[in-house]
């Protein structure tokens, strides 16, 4: 079936993919194209959206892309950087300066199809360095922005030419902080481009089944079935498309699973009728051997990904599967954060994108039916496939499992001399508050702009008041350099001495993390929060605190929709007290803290 579609030009990072999924939520197909793609790839679409990226500038090499798109008789809408490029191309001016970051009010000058159904004042989200200062002939200012009452207006926040069918928004309608951004995107796709809303999950399901049948033919698919949402939906989808003898599921206990996880996963697949060729292998020794002595997060991820493939190949040979494709439940964020787009930096390497997998993809040996979907869409597809809701709405669990939640260390830091300087900045920010804070002598992975950061967490201690905690965390993260996380101390008093310990991936440490994670997850279930909280990693850091214990435990409950952004969830204080009592009683635990960090600047996982 042919679907009207919008081409989203990917100028890097997460923005193009957020736009694409928002277009698709309007039941209009969106496809990601690269700025340098040939013009023939654009001609088949009914509209083009130029993504934004606050890291890009309209001055210099960032502006080097295929400008033949402007010669097409197709409507074009630009966001942020794309907005500036449209203004420049048609005779307007852009200057470097007059930055805007955060929420603003868009004041709409007149009725226009782009703003159909909206009010004359709309909350939007700004994040830019360059600014449009004038527009060319046949263009007009459709709206200006203000950051607050009494502030100077920021002109040309929305521009357009109905003659050329070219439009631009300085703001980001694709982010949730632009209150009616979805409606603006829908208006462009439907009202301006004339797209019919024919792309929906039922249709996607039918088409994907046909694609799988065509791709696999008489061969077979061998899927690594972790039991997470993505691999479960992929397994069920393959089960719909293929004959039972064509689908083999392999559940690998990699020693990095949660408590009793493997038993629960195998039972769930049997209950769904996917046990005709359901295989199980305990490969704990393989993974722990591969991880022995490793400390760096990227090295650990690579070792886990490589070992998965080696176990898979070994089991495939043992089972006599010669003409198989490796099935994976890879979804959009897995490839975005691995640097899967041309202008995005690697935030982290996903275990589905280590080099051995990339080589297999190039050789045509991998099939990934969910690679165009975000988590919310995967869950919608799972509902269409009638997968039990407890499996669809379970919290996401990373493929590397506890391997990215058990931090390792050499016991030393290269930039330890900088910690006192950062600590002074923290103290200055907190000086007139009831909170105290300190910098931890460990590092975690974060994301700033679209770049990976590997920086220190700050621990704060103070009142259990969520409004104050959010305010303090936001201020510290905004004003203090060299940090990417803010955690709230849940121990009775603020620690005074932290000593990083040398630690690697061992069974004893994993068992301790399993126990701590089990306490947290059972607490969420008791309080009916298992699905309300989108994800809740429990993390161990090898830290001796005030001469006590060996592991600082971090609880990280978050709210999210697509894993691209996240905010810290507010657990009931009663539940926090229950977790505090049980976790601090575990052997070798030196302390407990609560991660208050949004994404960005902190990734959801600590590695």
Which value, in Å, is the radius of gyration of the alpha carbons in the chain?
25
Coil, helix or strand at residue 570: coil
Q: Which has more confidence, 305 or 293? A: 293
Q: Which pLDDT score, from 0 to 100, does residue 340 have? A: 46
> What letter does residue 52 receive in the DSSP assignment?
P
Predicted TM-score of the model (pTM): 0.74
Query: What are 133-164's pLDDT values in tens digits?
Result: 999 999 999 999 987 666 788 899 999 999 99
| Distance from C-alpha of 202 to C-alpha of 158, rounded to nearest angstrom | 35
Active site includes 456? no
How would residue 469 be classed by pLDDT, with cut points 50, 70 and 90?
very high
User: What gap in Å lies between CA 70 and CA 320, rounded to an integer?
Assistant: 54
Six token digits for residue 331: 């979804």
SS3 492: coil
CB neighbour list of residue 516: distance below 8 Å, 6 or more residues apart: 538, 540, 553, 583, 586, 589
pLDDT at 132 > cutoff 50: yes
User: What pLDDT does residue 466 have?
Assistant: 96
> Catalytic: which of 85, 100, 122, 174?
174
Catalytic residue check, 172:
yes
Residue 59: predicted pLDDT: 63
The more confident residue out of 572 and 600 is 572
Q: What is the mean pLDDT of residues 26-50?
A: 93
Domain 201-399 has CATH 3.40.50.620: yes
Q: Look up 80 and say whether it is catalytic.
A: yes
**Highest mean pLDDT: which of 114-118, 128-132, 202-206, 565-569?**
114-118
Domain 409-595 sits in CATH at 3.30.300.10
* CB-side neighbour CA atoms (13 Å) of 69: 32
Pairing of strands 324-327, 220-224: parallel
* Identified catalytic residue from 3, 80, 100, 251: 80
CB 126 within 8 A of CB 102: yes
> What integer pLDDT is reported at residue 253 of this predicted model?
95
Q: Do domains 5-192 and 201-399 have the same CATH topology?
A: yes
CB neighbour list of residue 401: distance below 8 Å, 6 or more residues apart: 226, 254, 256, 257, 258
- What are the helix (H) ranges across 217-260? 229-241
Residue 30 pLDDT greater than 50, yes or no: yes
- Name the range with the highest mean pLDDT among 228-237, 308-317, 408-417: 228-237
DSSP SS3 for 1:
coil
- Residue 56 or 409, more confident: 409
Strand ranges of the sheet holding 47-50, from the earlier edge strand across to the other edge: 29-33, 5-9, 47-50, 76-79, 166-169, 154-161, 140-146, 93-108, 121-134
Region 377-399: mean pLDDT is: 89
Q: What percent of the chain has pLDDT over 70?
A: 91
pLDDT at 165 over 80: yes
Mean pLDDT for the stretch of residues 12-23? 80
Bridge pairing between strands 558-559 and 567-568: antiparallel
- Res. 449 pLDDT band, cuts 50 70 90: low
Q: What number is the average pLDDT over the span 325-340?
A: 71
What pLDDT does residue 96 have?
78
Catalytic residue among 172, 248, 350, 461: 172
Say if residue 521's pLDDT is above 90: yes
Decide which of 3.20.20.100, 3.40.50.2300, 3.40.50.880, 3.30.1320.10 is the CATH code for 5-192. 3.40.50.880
Domain ranges (residues) in the chain:
5-192, 201-399, 409-595
Residues 484-496 have a mean pLDDT of 95
Q: How far apart are CA 261 and CA 521, in angstroms?
A: 12
Asked whether the predicted pLDDT for residue 450 surpasses 90, the reply is no
């Amino acid at each position: 079936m042919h679907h009207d579609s919008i081409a989203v030009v990917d100028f890097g990072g997460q923005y193009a993919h957020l736009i694409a999924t928002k277009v698709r939520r309007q039941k209009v197909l969106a496809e990601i194209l690269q700025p340098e793609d040939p013009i023939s790839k654009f001609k088949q679409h009914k509209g083009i959206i130029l993504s934004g990226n606050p890291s890009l500038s309209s001055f210099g090499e960032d502006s080097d892309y295929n400008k033949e798109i402007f010669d097409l008789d197709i409507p074009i809408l630009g966001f942020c950087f794309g907005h500036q490029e449209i203004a420049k191309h048609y005779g307007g001016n852009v200057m470097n300066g007059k930055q805007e970051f955060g929420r603003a009010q868009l004041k709409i000058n007149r009725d226009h199809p782009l703003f159909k159904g909206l009010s004359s004042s709309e909350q939007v989200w700004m994040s830019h360095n360059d600014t449009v200062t004038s527009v060319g002939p046949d263009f007009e200012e459709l709206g200006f922005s203000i950051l607050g009452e009494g502030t100077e207006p920021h002109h040309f926040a929305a521009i357009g030419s109905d003659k050329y069918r070219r439009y631009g928004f300085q703001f980001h309608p694709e982010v949730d902080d632009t209150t009616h951004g979805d409606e603006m995107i829908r208006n462009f796709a439907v009202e301006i481009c004339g797209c019919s809303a024919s792309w929906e999950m039922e249709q996607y399901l039918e088409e994907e089944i046909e694609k799988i049948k065509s791709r696999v033919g008489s061969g077979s698919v061998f899927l690594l079935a972790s039991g997470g949402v993505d691999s479960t939906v992929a397994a069920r989808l393959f089960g719909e498309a293929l004959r039972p003898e064509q689908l083999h599921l392999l559940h690998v206990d990699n020693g990095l699973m949660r408590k009793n996880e493997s038993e629960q996963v195998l039972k769930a697949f049997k209950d769904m009728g996917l046990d005709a060729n359901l295989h199980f292998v305990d490969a704990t020794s393989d993974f722990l051997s591969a991880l022995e002595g490793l400390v760096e997060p990227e090295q650990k991820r690579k070792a886990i990904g490589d070992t998965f493939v080696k176990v898979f190949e070994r089991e495939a040979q043992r089972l006599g599967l010669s003409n198989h494709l490796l099935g994976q439940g890879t979804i959009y964020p897995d490839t975005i954060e691995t640097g899967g787009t041309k202008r995005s930096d690697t935030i982290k390497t996903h275990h589905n994108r280590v080099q051995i997998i990339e080589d297999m993809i190039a050789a045509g040996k991998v099939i990934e039916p969910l690679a165009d979907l975000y988590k919310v869409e995967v869950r919608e597809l799972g509902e269409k496939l009638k997968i039990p809701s407890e499996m669809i709405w379970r919290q996401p669990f990373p493929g590397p499992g506890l391997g990215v939640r058990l931090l390792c260390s050499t016991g030393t830091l290269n930039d330890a001399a900088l910690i006192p300087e950062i600590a002074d900045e923290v103290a200055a920010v907190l000086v007139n508050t009831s909170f105290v804070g300190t910098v931890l002598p460990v590092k975690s992975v974060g994301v700033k702009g679209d770049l990976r950061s590997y920086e220190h967490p700050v621990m704060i201690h103070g009142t259990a008041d969520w409004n104050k905690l959010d305010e303090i965390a936001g201020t510290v993260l905004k004003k203090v350099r060299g940090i990417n996380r803010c955690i709230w101390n849940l121990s009775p008093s603020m620690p005074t001495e932290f000593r990083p310990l040398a630690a690697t991936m061992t069974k004893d440490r994993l068992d301790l993390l399993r126990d701590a994670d089990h306490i947290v997850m059972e607490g969420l279930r008791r309080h009916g929060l298992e699905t309300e909280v989108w994800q809740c990693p429990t993390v161990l850091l090898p830290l001796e605190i005030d001469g006590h214990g060996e592991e600082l435990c971090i609880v990280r409950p978050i709210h999210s929709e697509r894993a691209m952004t996240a905010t810290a969830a507010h657990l009931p204080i009663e539940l926090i007290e229950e977790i505090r009592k049980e976790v601090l009683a575990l052997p070798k635990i030196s302390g407990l803290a609560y991660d208050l960090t949004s994404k960005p600047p902190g990734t959801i996982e600590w590695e």
